[in-house]
Structure 1
Amino acid sequence: MGKEHKIGLMIDQNVPITEEQMRNTAATLRNVCQPKSKLSNDVIDKMKDKVFPTDKPAKCFVQCVLENMGIICDPVAIACLWITELMRKSKINYDAAMKQFDLLLPDSMKDDYKAALTRCKDSTGGEKNACEAAYKMVVCFSTDNPTFTFV
């Protein structure tokens, strides 16, 4: 059995992450999840433009990204679990995610992300399959969200 990895970003809990830190973390996540999914660079690059293929490898790539993203908030390793807490057992954890958006997102992204979260909190529709649930959430989250970014 393979070893599980969570991607972390060391930040000050009281200071939002920068867009550059988000891009660097996204690149790391892509490098972790792309080999598992065997998706081409072209397919993943299109996800940045909100084009999400509907095949299983693409859906499981999205799930891998969400599952592996976490943010460690301080040197004492108090976990914020930003995206990890966003979804639990294929359901969106609305309150935890909203709190993390307030604490961690750059001001330029907060309103768009909070509005998308409110709009998408029931988007998984009780889906039990983790890849399907993650895919449904990200597709909803990217819709009408001008500051949405993905790997």
Structure 2
Amino acid sequence: MKVLLLLVFATLSFQYGDSAMSEAQMKAALKLVRNVCQPKFKTTNEQIDAMHNGDWGMEKNAKCYLWCILNMHKLISKENTFEWETGVATLTAQAPESLRPTAVASIQNCKDAVKTPSDKCLAAYEIAHCIYLDNPEKYFLP
């Protein structure tokens, strides 16, 4: 029954409302992903904060945290390539207008960021680091 109600709500919201998330919804979604990935790889708040402040000299667990985030959003393939087209499509459909143009541009600018596909955590780091460097003020990964 709960699934049916959720399906009806989702259908109505897409038909009658703006399908893009609000800023608050986006923050809540990112927080949820962070809360799932952070404990899996024992990533500290300090490690995540350092990354958001431009310190990308991180340990393996923090790089694997980035893999988890990209994996949850279906932005990294099993071959550890960047699924940038999925990122553009998702951001175009769901991101708040205030984030959409810069985020889409960063995704497109980083489509070839993966240099080390043999290591999933390092590949995720390369993608996230590229997105950060493309526009540090508008970095959007949790």
TM-score by length of 1: 0.72
Report the counterpart of residue 147 of structure 1 in structure 2. Answer: 138
Q: Give the Cα–Cα distance (whole angstroms) in 2 for the partners of residues 21 and 88 of structure 1.
A: 26
Report the counterpart of residue 96 of structure 1 in structure 2. Answer: 86
Q: How many residues align?
A: 127
2:29 aligned with 1:40:
no
Unaligned runs of 5+ in 1: 1-9, 69-82
**Larger Cα-atom Rg:** 2
Unaligned runs of 5+ in 2: 1-8
> What SS does the aligned partner of 1:38 have?
coil
String of CA shifts for 1:64-83, please: whole Å, max 9, x gaps. 12223xxxxxxxxxxxxxx2
Structure 1 residues 110-119 or 23-32, which shifts more? 23-32
Hey, which of these two has a bigger chunk of helix by percent? 2
Identity %: 28
- From 51, 59, 65, the equivalent of 1:61 is 65
AA aligned opposite 1:111: P
TM-score by length of 2: 0.76
Q: Give the Cα–Cα distance (whole angstroms) in 2 for the partners of residues 96 and 18 of structure 1.
A: 20
On the 8 A contact 1:53/1:59 being kept in 2, the answer is: no
Report the counterpart of residue 71 of structure 1 in structure 2. Answer: none
AA aligned opposite 1:106: P
User: Given the superposition, is the C-alpha separation of residues 26 and 94 from structure 1 closer, same or farther in structure 2, using an over 3 Å criterion?
Assistant: closer
